[in-house]
A and B are shown apart, each in its own frame.
Chain A
Amino acid sequence: MDFSIASILLLDGITNGAIYALLGLATVLVFTVTRVIFIPQGEFVAFGALTLAGLQLGQTPGTIAFLLVMAGLVAMLDLVAGLRDGKPAAKVALAVLRAAVLPVLIGLVALWAAPLKLPLVAQVLLTLAVVTAMGPLVYRLAYQSLADASVLVLLIVSVGVHFALTGLGLVFFGAEGSRNPSFWDASFTVGPLLFSGQTLIMLMASAALIVGLWLFFERSLYGKALRATAVNRLGARLMGISSTAAGRLSFTMAAFIGALSGILISPTTTIVYDSGFLIGLKGFVAAVFAGLASYPGAALGALLVGVLESFSSFWASAFKEVIVFAAILPVLLWRSLRDPHSEDH
């Protein structure tokens, strides 16, 4: 291996690492706010990439119908729950409308726009809207009523959601993989390195989002409120922070990050309905690196995972997944030596 190969591998690793960083951040975000270990994060990646691919072909991806069905289910559940609690009908109707109107609107617009073969940018925005709108609906359907359950129970629910979404992914998109066109075909040479426009977009989008998240949680009142919910649900509730709203918001952000990651990598990698899982898990390894708690830590861990992956695919390509996932073990050892603690639930 000479310097130029090493630098190409490094660039490749950093580019993928940037995506893992986004997913790692989403994992940390969801975990710190809701204590949910969000295994289905990767499904949003696949949904994002493949919904865009479907729109590119002028098809109507199944995700749009799925969004409408979920919105309908949520409306029904809210209606039943509201009436059972004996709330006035007008108030219940208003609450149901408020929860369902946006996803239904997005779904209907998407249904109308899908066959039009709009320009790429419009399709990207449409995809982002469709997948992002799923986030709070998934939270409402699977997690909301279990918000006070243990981490373990929530983890098992996550696994159930992952199963269901993966199976649905196969129904929506079939077993064929898709690859999207590049967003920006320009390329730049710096020394031995060839930066494609796509790489630049990936790096910049990730960096912007990471900084944005950091600012949101460290500087804004709402971000701090979300963190407070993570530390003490009851206490936060007493301070007037709705833990349900916090959960919905964090899932919305997770879905957005997932969809964006999927759209960003789809021009460089072929995405199949279940590819999201492995990509999400690599983000996960990065999040574990940060103890599921620190944003800069997760970002750093993700870059390491990306670089480790690109170098191991050069040296032992068949074993690249083995190496990446086995790398979590020394990380865990390091963490267990650093802060050994266990608590009563």
Chain B
Amino acid sequence: MRKILPLLGLALLFALPLLPVPEFWITQLNYIGMFALVSLGLVLLTGVGGLTSFGQAAFVGLGAYTTALLSTRYGLSPWLGLFAGLLITLVVALVLAWLTLRMSGHYLPLATIAWALALYYSMGNMEFLGKYDGISGVPPLELFGFSLQSGRAIYPLIWLIAVLAAFGVRNLLDSRPGRAIRALNGATTMAEAMGVSTFRYKVIIFVLAALLASVSGWLFAHFQRTVNPSPFALKMGIEYLFMAVVGGVGTVWGAFVGAGVFKIIEDELKELLPALLGSNGNFEIIVLGIVLVLIIKYAPKGLWPYVVSAGARWWPAAPRARDWADAAPLAARDKPQAGELLLDVDQVRKQFGGLVAVNDVSFQIRAREIVGLIGPNGAGKSTTFNLVTGVLGLTSGKVSFRGQSVGGLSSREIARRGMSRTFQHVKMIADMTVLENVALGGYLRSGSGTARAMLRLDREEEKRLFKEAEAQLQRIGMVAQMHELAGNLALGPQRLMEIARALCTDPALLLLDEPAAGLRLKEKQALAEVLRQLKREGMSILLVEHDMEFVMGLTDRIVVMEFGTKLIEGTPDVVQASPEVMAAYLGTEH
């Protein structure tokens, strides 16, 4: 039933023009398909990636005007127009992305508003684009000598493209690049530490959304057979966003629900409201605006989640099929020999203005050692940790890892060299399963890109990634919870999951930032057991903690910091006996 129903739905969708459906509804569905294509891009960009564009209508316009101009003025084939439109859109989108995506999130929407206005007035004032009258007489599409002039004839093409795009986006979201994209909305630091270039993926989803809009514009031009600036104005750009929000930003099928609801509401309101209120006005825009605010307030995830939860009563969601049992293992890096010098922190210093947060601290970690970095609150532990992992830049000093200097490298580059970390405040993607979160750790050990993922050519590698993720979960004893959503876990298991994710990167050195903070006693014991087991397996670990008891039983050596300087370094026994450490933690008698 689960398999058959969607297939039946699809068959019905494509059979519609053959059935005696009124022309009006075919036209409506054509618009819905074209709108959904644009709003699909926004699902990816806004819903998943947390970026917003109000300029999607302008990209639709680029696609439409390009093909209209080429096919009327120069008599070129519309299919050539499609590629020309995509090319121009690509260039424009890349420029906008390059200008805005390095800055914080709200500059992109602002830039797209400005760009949409600029393009609108350009289209409306350019002589060769027909000014505000636009270009008419655009030829209909032809396929194998078959004219797609009528609404019924172009319908299958519109919906084929829309459905293919939807599957492409859905495939993308469930893949290696997809997991990186899903980390963009709020977990960029974590993604960077897993080796993901978040800037790159922001650019990718912005460009993808623009290209989808451009295709929609191409269809629009050949369906309407005429183009003018008004359907590509900023207002329409905002309406595309409305569709995505109403349908459910973040869900692929929500784009279709949103487009359908929008088109039907808009048409009905245009008929109904003037009849009710008895004068001519732009009433539907008032209702659209108010509905948008209400949806954000009371159903911020849009309408699609309601459809899903209604359907879940009969067809509960099935966990991911476990099809990776015979997958080949991922490539592993050569492991350091016992006793090899791994991390050499040499006189590192960090100043914030006049404040010296870390004052010429040095220590070393050799392979197969667990070293604790402890100290009271404010001692500079976390700053030291951030200096080692590349989150903060060094003021002076040197950090070498396996003989190579890593000072000044980004956390992405450092991850590539084999250091992997967890976070003091758990950073994860709450609406992905534990398994998928851990698989993000395998990002650097795999290579499938966006196009491969959309075309599902990445399945072999996905299996290998999931096999590795499952193995790491097995290692820390969480395999039973692998299909649960990460956001539903308690703090203890979330911490363990972060360790599994870090292990999935196949690290030579594991860096744990206060892993025991906020844990209950039982959870602490479970964590300590996992760390002991990792040590037995030969893992090297730097443990930043302020819980003395936790660190004492686990580590080979301890570095104690106070006020930014190194107080003492030695075995747990030495540290425990040291009067200086006691003074630092408990204060001195006067």
Contacts and interface: CB of A to CB of B under 8 A. Distances in A.
Interface of A: 37, 142, 145-146, 149-153, 155-157, 159-168, 170-171, 278, 281, 284-285, 288, 292, 318-319, 321-322, 325-326, 328-329, 332-333, 335-336, 339-345
Contacts of A325: 114-115, 117-118, 121
A302 to B, nearest CB: 15
B122 A319 contact: yes
B114 A156 contact: no
Contacts of A157: 292-293, 296
A146 B286 contact: no
Interface in B23-55: 46, 50-52, 54
Contacts of A326: 114-115, 118
B285 A163 contact: yes
B477 interface: no
Contact of B102 (A151, A284, A342, A345): A342
Given A163-B238, A164-B293, A329 B288 contact: no
Contacts of A344: 186-189, 427
Contacts of A322: 118, 121-122, 125
B117 A332 contact: no
Contacts of A167: 281-287, 289
A142 B293 contact: yes
Contacts of B111: 328-329, 332
Contacts of A168: 286
A322 B58 CA distance: 13
A146 B297 CA distance: 7
Given A281-B117, A319-B125, A326-B118, A161 B289 contact: yes
B105 A342 contact: yes
Interface of B: 46, 50-52, 54, 96, 99-100, 102-107, 109-111, 113-115, 117-118, 121-122, 125, 185-189, 198, 238, 241-242, 245, 279, 281-293, 296-297, 300, 427
Interface of B is mostly: helix
Contacts, number: 151
A156 B188 contact: no
Which among B46, B110, B122, B288 has the highest number of chain A CB atoms within 10 Å?
A: B110
B456 to A, nearest CB: 31
A318 B96 CA distance: 24
Contact of A333 (B99, B285, B286): B99
A56 B310 CA distance: 56
B296 A153 contact: yes
Contacts of B245: 156
B238 A159 contact: yes
17 contacts: A149-B296, A152-B46, A157-B293, A160-B289, A165-B289, A167-B285, A170-B282, A171-B279, A171-B281, A281-B114, A288-B110, A321-B118, A329-B111, A336-B100, A336-B107, A342-B102, A345-B186
B103 A156 contact: no
Residue from B50, B103, B188, B283 with most neighbouring chain A CB atoms (10 Å): B103
